[in-house]
Amino acid sequence: MPLKLPTIIGNRGAAAYAPENTIESIHTAADMGCKWVEFDVKLTKDSVPILFHDDLLDRTTNGHGPVADMKFSDLRDLECGSWFSDGFGGIKIPTLEEAVEVILERDLGMNVELKPCPGREVETAEAALDLLSQIWDDRDRLLISSFSHVSLETAMDMAGDWYRSLLLESEPAENWAELADYLNATTINIDGRTASREFIEEIMDTERPVLAYTINDPQLARTLRAWGVDAMFTDDPDTVNDTLFKAH
């Protein structure tokens, strides 16, 4: 298949080394040799797509409360680095557009995870794909993923020829295979920390690549690779990459 997936994908940039879902984290992943990065996209109250994981601001910013209640101009007043370390104090939540500009500059591929706040599944997909359709033209280095079937359905309607990935929870729904077929999912992204070899083989039987998140244990990475996992998301691309490719 033409989707050009590397074995290692930097999770939220390189989240072990820089604050997740920031421009700095994307640069760090690229500096470590990552060919692809993954990041999360949510919407502000005024529908600006931004890089952010949680529904609440509290864990990774100096703000409080739901992301969905904040206009972009107010979010821009927050900082999202000092929770990680003082050296990153003062950095800002990036827009999807700013992140894509850096990804183009660094010649990376990307897994864009649509992470809608509750009730915003359609509009999050619409805003993200509308922007991407204007500035991204390398379909073989773009994967749209989500746990939200509604977001993936919207992505399918808007950009049917782009690759989509169905994200599965640690305990996946029994009808995951039917969902994957309905959404015409190119890959299945699973929790590699809990997945059994049998389940991975079930996915392989559907002839789809298997991607595993979030693999920071080098030994687990080797095991999953041996079981047939095609690619892994990791906060620590340096260590995992070294283990997989330089241990022999």
| pLDDT greater than 80 at residue 46 | yes
Q: What angle do CA 214, 127, 114 make, to 5 degrees?
A: 15
* CA-wise closest residue to 41 among 88, 111, 106: 111
- Asked if 95 and 48 touch (Cβ cutoff 8 Å), the reply is yes
pLDDT digits (tens, 9 = 90+) for 57-106: 999 999 999 999 999 999 999 999 999 999 999 999 999 999 999 999 99
207: alpha, beta or left? (left if phi > 0; alpha if psi -120 to 50): left
pLDDT digits (tens, 9 = 90+) for 118-136: 999 999 999 999 999 999 9
Instruction: Kindly give, in sequence order, each residue whose CB lies less than 8 Å from that of residue 206, ignoring residues fewer than 6 positions away.
Output: 177, 180, 188
Beta strands in 60-150 (DSSP E): 109-114, 142-146
Q: How far apart are CA 10 and CA 13, in angstroms?
A: 5
Superfamily (CATH) of domain 8-42+108-246: Phosphatidylinositol (PI) phosphodiesterase (3.20.20.190)
Q: Is 111 helix (H, G, I), strand (E, B) or coil?
A: strand
